[in-house]
Amino acid sequence: MENTIVCRCSDVTLKQVRDLIAQGYVTFDEIKRITRIGMGPCQGKTCGQIVQREIAMAIGQKMSDVEFQTNRPPVVGVRLELIAKEARRNEEQR
């Protein structure tokens, strides 16, 4: 459990997640704010369901009732200079 990585972006282990749940951090957002889980390039696409399942088991809820973090743009990583370039091109065409 100590060596089981749940979040590959931020190297969070299963033990860290379970310890926090035991201390009363029982929403994805709370665990995220302490451990950075779900904040990396995958934005929780890997770790999200694992954490939701751990919370569900610990507090006796259905996994589908455990909320995930707010989904925010962009869906995948985009280089800032490309967004800037497109924005400038759109302005010139206007």
| Identified binder of other proteins from the candidate list 60, 62, 64, 80, rule CB under 8 A | 80
Do 69 and 29 form a contact (C-beta atoms < 8 A)? yes
Q: Which is nearer to other proteins, 3 or 76 (CB)?
A: 76
By CB under 8 A, is residue 65 in contact with other proteins? no
| Identified binder of other proteins from the candidate list 36, 50, 56, 68, rule CB under 8 A | 36
CA distance 43 to 63: 19
| Identified binder of other proteins from the candidate list 19, 41, 45, 65, rule CB under 8 A | 41
CA distance 7 to 23: 20
| Identified binder of other proteins from the candidate list 3, 62, 87, 92, rule CB under 8 A | 87
Do 42 and 49 form a contact (C-beta atoms < 8 A)? no
Do 18 and 27 form a contact (C-beta atoms < 8 A)? no
| CB atoms closer than 10 angstroms to residue 34 | 13
The contact set with other proteins (CB under 8 A) reads 10, 27, 29-30, 33-34, 36, 39-41, 43, 70, 72-74, 77-81, 83-88
